[in-house]
Amino acid sequence: MKRSPLSPWKTLQDLEPALLSGTVVALRADFNVPLGRGRVSDSARIESTIPTIDHLVAAGARVVILSHLGRPEGRVRPEFTLRPVADCLDGLVEAPVAFLPHIGGDAVRDAVAGLAQGSVLLLENTRYLAGETAGDPGLAADWARWADHFVLDAFGTAHRAHASTAGLPHAVRLKGGEAVAGFLVAQELDVLGGVLDDPGRPFVGVIGGAKISGKIDVIAALLARVDVLLIGGAMANTFLLAMGLQTGASLVEAERAEVARRILEAAGSRLVLPVDCVVAASLTAGVETRSVDRSAVTAEDVIGDVGPVTAALFGSYLAGAGTVVWNGPVGAFEIDAFASGTRAVALSAAAAAEAGAKVIVGGGDSVAAVRSAGVAARITHVSTGGGASLDLLAGKALPGLEALSERSPAGNPRR
């Protein structure tokens, strides 16, 4: 695998299988999947980490998987149990898969001690413990008692300084073990590193979603790299407000209007905003909508999507792109009345990929959009990390990556 300067961290490929044989490997996976009637309704995230699991099993490791599911907020909530994930996983790997309805303490240590080589144990939801999201070093140390090595295959959580993503690998390294990236994370780093190092031109960014506040750093970082940045979603409303336009009763961050104005001044023509909008009395299913020029929004209107002219405009930029990075829907696409713009972007992104552009889509809503449009298979790379990929592109350090073992400048591995 080509190693990008962005990814100096060790991966599974840096470890000899003999080093893993008989050892206990703590694997942080991202099994935060949708459930329905007690079953996994979309197994894509589980399937994406199967190559890493299979590799560890083949090497004779005893694989103990940690993951979160939903937001149980530090308490046991049965609707967020990982038991259905274990049932799904059991049908995807050749190795025996067991589920333990515990996440810490002696119960886990005893269960791990009884594991056979080449077997898999999935622990209960890490977020049942408040120390997980708090990054409790004591919780990380408790897990490290039984872990010889650590593998991060949950790119979507790499930007979180949680006990299982940052604390555990650090604790494993302190006791002399290796902490490395799994195949999924290594692939993400390779793809995103290529975008940062040598993007094909023109480089087009598409940023959507609700708020500008959470993506200011990303917007600034992308503007320094892209040839054009297309802005949609409710965050575009704040930019329109900064231009002195009426945004009606739309979701808008008025306190961020001055920030948006400064971004507009610095970006000039490289930042492209919607020129028309789909508006309604409210963002509800079945509501009557109309498409209007952005200058014709009334005080009673709620902006729910980019209009058809904007969708075509965005499509024209994507059609000639060499690289596309898309994160965030350009409208309230979960409501059919406001889904046309995001679907149009998805189709244009797929067409750009088929024309030779490298197209990367990240973020849960964006991924859902390309899947609902039936074009996910046509996208160059569908990232498993929304916030993580954006933070990486913005040049931020990701705690989950920073905790991994690094390679020395000379290429000699070091812990």
Q: Which residues are catalytic?
A: 45, 211, 364, 387
Distance (Å, whole) CA 28 – CA 143: 12
Cβ neighbours of residue 4 under 8 Å, at least 6 residues apart?
189, 190, 193, 194, 196, 197
Q: In whole angstroms, what separates CA 101 from the centre of its chain? A: 27
**What does the block give as tokens for 103?**
């996440």
Angle between helices 308-319 and 340-354 (to 10 degrees): 10
Rounded Cα–Cα distance for residues 182 and 204 (Å): 29
Beta bridge mates, 292: 277
The CA distance from 260 to 116, in Å, is 57
Placement of tokens 């899947």 in the chain: 371
Distance CA(131)–CA(163), nearest Å, equals: 7
Query: What is the DSSP secondary structure assignment for residue 88, as one 8-state letter?
Result: H
The verdict on whether omega for the bond into residue 78 sits within 30 degrees of 0, i.e. cis, is: no
Token pair 């999201």: residue: 133
